[in-house]
Every structure is written in C-alpha cells, then in structure tokens.
Amino acid sequence: MRTISLVTQKGGSGKSTLASCIAVAAQEAGERVFIIDMDPLKTLVNWSKLRGEADIPVEVVPSAKLAQVIAALEKKGVTLCIIDTPGTSSKETEAAMRASDLIVIPARPNVFDLWASETTRKAAKEARREFVFVLNQCPPANQSARVEQGSKALEAMGGLLTPLIQARVDFQEAARNGWGVTELNPYGDAADEVRKLWSSMKRRLAKGKTSSRKAA
C-alpha cells in the first residue's frame, strides 16, 4: 500500500478537491482507495455523504492512531491511502506527513501560495519524506507570466508534478455531487488533467519505492 498526503499551510489551495478527484481517478484505474480525513472541517467526510456510496471509504482518524490505522488498512488489502489535512500547521499535518510515502503540496500561481509552499517544503524535509508540488487553479492561459513564475519556483523548490491543473468549473460541480471530475465529465479537460496527474503521482511513488529500497 502507498500513502499520499495533501498538505499546505494555506487554506483553499485545493487539497480536498485534488484528494477527492485523485481518489476517484485512482479507483477507476484499479486501486483500492481509502481516504483519511484529518481536517476538523471534515470536508471529505461530507463529500462522501453526498456521494452516498461506500466504494471509497472516508474516515476521521486522530493523529495518535494514524500509524495503527494505516497498518490495518494495508492488511485489509487497501492499495492507496489518501490523507487530507487542514490548511494550517498542526499535529494532524505533522502526523500525516510522517505517515506518507509522498507528500503532495498544492499551490495556486500566486505569491502568497508560493511563500506558504516554502514553509510546507521545510516541514516535509524535516519529516524526511518525499514531496512534490502541484500547481492548481491556473488561469486558462497557461503561458501567463504568473503561471510560468509559479512553475519555475516550485520546480526549483523540489519538483512539480505534471500537468498543471487549471481552474475549471468541473472541479466545483463534481464536489457538489460527491463525485470526482472523471465521473462528472469523463471526457472533459479536467478529467484528462486528473488522470494524467494520478499517472505522474504513481510514477513518483514507484521512484520513491526504488530509491528507498536502494537506501535500505
């Protein structure tokens, strides 16, 4: 089983949106997915209620029990555990980072998010875990200077997953129904981006596995 956490010390960058959409896309690609919601706002618990199906279980887990729950999920045959975290530094965020094979740090292409990304990067380094950035809510003209600056900054900070995720109505519509964008509009551009993003994450996870085996 592989564990991914979505982390930033910044509200609204898209942690819960990307966590739910990646969960659905990964499940469609054959993974057995389990979501752990560590945000006191319980965004993904509520998303799951709207969804109304138990195909992707979502559970609230306190930080003190996280390691134990993750070990139990692995024994049950879950192949991908996705952890959503609050938008502030907290004991939940720290526990999630420590439990992760890969920390995914979403940022919007603006300077405030980039500053917050730097803080999260430091925390991920301290936790000695693999981390990578995703640029989310990009304006439609990808070539804009703001997007280019954001991409370069995140690449320099430790790596940017492809593709860039654009601001698209599908993300908000899918959330409203408890779906992922690949369910809402399977042939849409948002669905295409999320499937590609999951492929990039998967490759990154596989790379991490190889290097930790080498290190062992």
- Distance CA(86)–CA(93), nearest Å, equals 7
Backbone angles phi, psi at 34, to 5 degrees: -135, 135
Which residue has the closest beta carbon to ligand ATP? 87
**Residue 17 binding ligand ATP, by CB under 6 A:** yes
Cβ contact 21:180 at 8 Å: yes
**Residue 16 binding Mg ion, by CB under 5 A:** yes
**Residue 48 binding Mg ion, by CB under 5 A:** no
Of 77-96, binders to ligand ATP (CB under 6 A) are: 87
Backbone angles phi, psi at 166, to 5 degrees: -85, 160
Contact characters 100-139, ligand ATP, x per CB under 6 A: ------------------------------------xx--
Give the residue, chosen from 27, 43, 120, 151, that forms a contact with Mg ion under the rule CB under 5 A. Answer: 43
Tokens of 126: 């301290």
* Selected range binding Mg ion among 7-15, 45-53, 118-126, 182-190, rule: CB under 5 A: 7-15
Number of chain positions touching Mg ion (CB under 5 A):
3
Give the torsion sign (CA, 91, 106, 199, 29): positive
- Distance CA(98)–CA(120), nearest Å, equals 13
Residue 5 pairs with which residues in a beta bridge?
83, 103
> How far is the first Cα of the chain from the last one, in angstroms, to the nearest whole number?
18
Give the residue, chosen from 2, 15, 121, 195, that forms a contact with ligand ATP under the rule CB under 6 A. Answer: 15
Residue with smaller CB distance to ligand ATP, 3 or 13: 13
> Which residues contribute to the site for ligand ATP (CB under 6 A)?
11-17, 39, 43, 87, 136-137, 165, 167-168, 171-172, 175
